Chains A and B, each alone.
Chain A
Amino acid sequence: MPTATPQSPVPQAVERENYLNKEYGVWSWLFTTDHKRIALLYLISITFFFFIGGFFALLIRLELLTPAGDLVQADTYNKLFTMHGMVMVFFFLIPSIPAVLGNFLVPMMIGTKDLAFPRINLLSWYLYVIGGVMMLHCMLTGGVDTGWTFYAPFSTNFTNTKIVEAGLAIFVAGFSSILTGLNFVVTIHRMRAPGLTWSRLPLFIWAHYATSIIQLLGTPVIAVTIVLVAAERALHLGIFDPRLGGDPLLFQHLFWFYSHPAVYIMILPSMGVISEVIACFSRKRIFGYSFVAFSSIAIAVFGFLVWAHHMFVAGISVYSALVFSFLSYAVAVPSAIKVFNWTATLYKGSIHYDAPMLYAFGFLGLFTIGGLTGLFLAALGIDVHVTDTYFVVAHFHYIMVGGALMGYLGGMHFWWPKISGRLYPEGWARLAALIVFIGFNLTFFPQFLLGYMGMPRRYYDYSHMPEFQILNVLSTAGATVLGVGYLLPMIYFLWSMRYGKPAPDNPWNAAGLEWKTASPPPTFNFDEDPVVTWEAYNYEELDAPPHQQEVPVAR
């Protein structure tokens, strides 16, 4: 059992055995079944793909600095936005919070030693890596130019880029996602600590449960769609080919049946993080706990009802479009309920402006803007004008970057002490959060204006609309700032692993079972199996000074 000796170069305040120092060596990581180590394996892999996707974004923004298509050729530009989308969606956003924070925290938050199926957990990481390597190979040998949505019949009949390989890469990564969801559902149902009833669960768990439902029921549909596309390309079957009696819209129905709920896979875990962070840094339980919990489930279910709002102008029946438009308004309601409840939590809270909370504030504002612009798009009349413009691009980046990614960063900061046993430098973290917020808005707000004024998406050349250049230049400048904002945490997190102050068990004095064990935790999470007798977010108990315990606490 390794322990730090007085002569060790890095003095460790905590010499206890934990999941990091229990075993050393590459094989102990590559063959681990410890959910915490697997979470870190995922952290490294998804960060790698974030760089790749970000690199493509950089090239896109560089091209759009000038109206003429002068940096890359049209075909190359098509590949850039396709690879940016595919990598960011399938290899960064979808896994991000569940595979990193979810894997690390779900067993700890429910008081158990590991997920239900630790070996399947490891398998899911290997599948992710295999899918990622396939995608890398695909990109390095020519890539794909269909857009991340790979619509038929272009993808099945006309493009000569590597659709089958990219599709198979996504298929494999999708299977990884399914296994993660399976693990979470079974773990949350079957392995909660004694006394931990559903109504005492942290909202982070509710959010991941809802996310898992979507992963389980939605991903198989895009998997079979990819099979059909591959079969069509290889065997010329004609399932989506109009010349052979096929319907390209069938592809879109099957594709979006998954890909719309997929966006809820990306945002729900982030909402779970936000619930934890807002509660902790307002020192209050989340207002309307059951509303927030059931809203997570409602979002998961309703999210499956709205997919054809991506197809309003594609040729679906107008009556069907009416139904989907109405349902798209309905799906906004549970999200709005959550925003109201988080805001109500802040009211009369004792607000602390630590970095995680700054990200949470950013989330609240940016997710709200993104969500409201979604309602614009859900209105048939408006959608006709702004679909396939930068308005849509701005809308989904507000949610996925301003929402999901902010939540991810906030969560990484919040739980970093638990994960690494070190404190990150708070000053730098607040600065980075601010840079991210400014850079984000500078990048994407101009895109709302561009889209509304008519700039189409996926165009590399807008020289027939040179008046759009100034907004594009602002957007590219913002992207540079945003990039700096993302680099800073990577640098200081790494720095903190060697030079950061050792973290106590509960640096934030936060509620939750994960804070009742060491930072970093031992391999089996708890020295004794916990038994839960308290409600979630019991901040009034945590904050009660000893001499004020006779003060009645409102529940």
Chain B
Amino acid sequence: MPDSTLVGLHHEEEHHPELLHHFADAQQQRDASSLGMWVFLATEIMFFGGLFCAYLVYRRWYFGDFAAASKSINMALGATNTAVLICSSLTVVLAVWAAQTARRALLIGSLAITMLLGLTFLGIKGIEYKDKFVEHHVPGASFSFENEPIPGHPGQFANPRHAQMFFSLYFVMTGLHALHMIIGLGIFLWLFVMAWKGRFTPEWHTPVEIGGLYWHFVDIVWIYLFPLLYLIDRHP
């Protein structure tokens, strides 16, 4: 929704209808939007960073218990989800390229496939969560992690309290990530609708670019979550 404008305060040259009046020109608006999204992503790095800090502390303290807990989550599903997100990052760059080169069909298709991949990710995540629930690995009153061997230490069993710490962090970290994924889906749905209406042109497609930046960031967070949570100790 553009701000109210003062007629006569603009230059005589024709300007893009999406140019907001408080910017000097379209380039400044583009640069500001891009910088704004990058700065926002910096805040998100710190937001997840606090969780990574907690994870680092407890993984060091309870390595064996964490390894046992990590072994109990489904690596195949986790790896699949990693591949799903990598594919979605590809479709996102394709969407941006399509917007840059006025390829409307590719743009709409890429945005749609990105959303489908995102939904796939969430679906797989849902299956994983359900599995954890069934196995009583959800922290709380019904948590149970008895007689799970610590990998590489035959005869030693994981401390259930410390294993619960792993699952607490697992659910908070992947849960927060999934929440960001859902928000990303909302953003891309909006982009899809805008693209369908033909709002994006090679001259102006900033929302696609900065929406893409957000999506890539969510992908990067998962790129770190996957090895940290799923691959602590997978020696056979």
Direct contact of A and B (CB under 8 A): yes
User: Measuring CB to CB, which residues of chain A are less than 8 angstroms from any residue of chain B?
Assistant: 33, 112-119, 178, 182, 185-187, 189-191, 216-221, 223-225, 227-228, 231, 235-239, 243-247, 250, 253-254, 257, 523-524, 529
Chain A residues within 8 Å of B139, by CB: 235-238
Given contacts A186-B35, A216-B42, A224-B47, contact A253 B169 (CB under 8 A): no
**Cβ contact of A228, chosen from B28, B49, B54, cutoff 8 A:** B54
**Cβ contact of B140, chosen from A235, A247, A529, cutoff 8 A:** A235
Within 8 A of A (CB), among B54-86: 54, 57-58, 61-62
Tell me the bound Cα distance from A544 to B61 in angstroms. Answer: 69
Asked whether any CB of chain A lies closer than 8 Å to the CB of B161, the reply is: yes
Give the Cβ gap from A98 to chain B, nearest Cβ, in Å: 15
Given contacts A113-B21, A113-B22, contact A217 B50 (CB under 8 A): no
Give the Cβ gap from B139 to chain A, nearest Cβ, in Å: 5
User: Measuring CB to CB, which residues of chain B are less than 8 angstroms from any residue of chain A?
Assistant: 1, 3, 6, 9, 21-24, 28, 31-32, 35-36, 39-40, 42-44, 46-51, 53-54, 57-58, 61-62, 139-141, 159, 161-162, 164-165, 168-169, 172, 176
> B3 and A118: CB pair below 8 A?
yes
Chain B residues within 8 Å of A221, by CB: 46-47, 49-50
Chain B residue at minimum C-beta to C-beta distance from A113:
B22
Given A223-B47, A227-B176, A245-B62, 7 additional A-B pairs, CB 8 A:
A116-B36, A228-B51, A228-B172, A237-B164, A243-B161, A245-B165, A524-B22
Tell me the bound Cα distance from A216 to B165 in angstroms. Answer: 29
Chain B residue at minimum C-beta to C-beta distance from A249:
B57
Give the Cβ gap from A520 to chain B, nearest Cβ, in Å: 17
> A220 and B51: CB pair below 8 A?
no
Chain B residues within 8 Å of A523, by CB: 6
Chain B residue at minimum C-beta to C-beta distance from A120:
B36
**Cβ contact of A254, chosen from B1, B32, B50, cutoff 8 A:** B50
Tell me the bound Cα distance from A410 to B69 in angstroms. Answer: 58
Chain A residue at minimum C-beta to C-beta distance from B52:
A224
Chain B residues within 8 Å of A115, by CB: 22
Give the Cβ gap from A121 to chain B, nearest Cβ, in Å: 11
> A190 and B31: CB pair below 8 A?
yes
Chain A residues within 8 Å of B31, by CB: 190
**Cβ contact of A224, chosen from B35, B51, B165, cutoff 8 A:** B51
> B161 and A227: CB pair below 8 A?
no
Given contacts A113-B22, A245-B165, contact A216 B3 (CB under 8 A): no
Chain A residues within 8 Å of B51, by CB: 224, 228
Tell me the bound Cα distance from A529 to B11 in angstroms. Answer: 12
Tell me the bound Cα distance from A523 to B21 in angstroms. Answer: 12
Chain A residues within 8 Å of B22, by CB: 112-115, 118, 524
Give the Cβ gap from B157 to chain A, nearest Cβ, in Å: 15
> A186 and B54: CB pair below 8 A?
no
> B168 and A237: CB pair below 8 A?
yes
Give the Cβ gap from B45 to chain A, nearest Cβ, in Å: 8
Tell me the bound Cα distance from A112 to B24 in angstroms. Answer: 9
Chain B residues within 8 Å of A239, by CB: 54, 165, 168-169, 172
Chain A residues within 8 Å of B169, by CB: 239
**Cβ contact of A186, chosen from B6, B39, B161, B164, cutoff 8 A:** B39
Give the Cβ gap from A269 to chain B, nearest Cβ, in Å: 19
**Cβ contact of A245, chosen from B6, B21, B46, B159, cutoff 8 A:** B159
Residue among B46, B140, B176 with the most chain A CB within 10 A? Answer: B46
Give the Cβ gap from A227 to chain B, nearest Cβ, in Å: 7
Give the Cβ gap from A313 to chain B, nearest Cβ, in Å: 20
Given contacts A116-B36, A228-B54, A254-B53, contact A238 B165 (CB under 8 A): yes
Chain A residues within 8 Å of B48, by CB: 224
**Cβ contact of A246, chosen from B21, B49, B165, cutoff 8 A:** B165
Chain A residue at minimum C-beta to C-beta distance from B20:
A118
Chain A residues within 8 Å of B50, by CB: 220-221, 224-225, 228, 254, 257
Chain B residues within 8 Å of A228, by CB: 50-51, 54, 172
**Cβ contact of B32, chosen from A119, A178, A191, A235, cutoff 8 A:** A191
Chain A residues within 8 Å of B140, by CB: 235-236
**Cβ contact of B165, chosen from A178, A190, A244, cutoff 8 A:** A244
> B42 and A217: CB pair below 8 A?
yes
Residue among B36, B51, B53, B141 with the most chain A CB within 10 A? Answer: B36
Tell me the bound Cα distance from A178 to B48 in angstroms. Answer: 15
Tell me the bound Cα distance from A182 to B39 in angstroms. Answer: 7
Chain B residues within 8 Å of A237, by CB: 139, 164, 168, 172
Give the Cβ gap from B62 to chain A, nearest Cβ, in Å: 7
Tell me the bound Cα distance from A117 to B32 in angstroms. Answer: 9
Residue among B22, B23, B24, B164 with the most chain A CB within 10 A? Answer: B22
> B43 and A178: CB pair below 8 A?
yes
Chain B residues within 8 Å of A247, by CB: 57-58, 61
Give the Cβ gap from B41 to chain A, nearest Cβ, in Å: 10
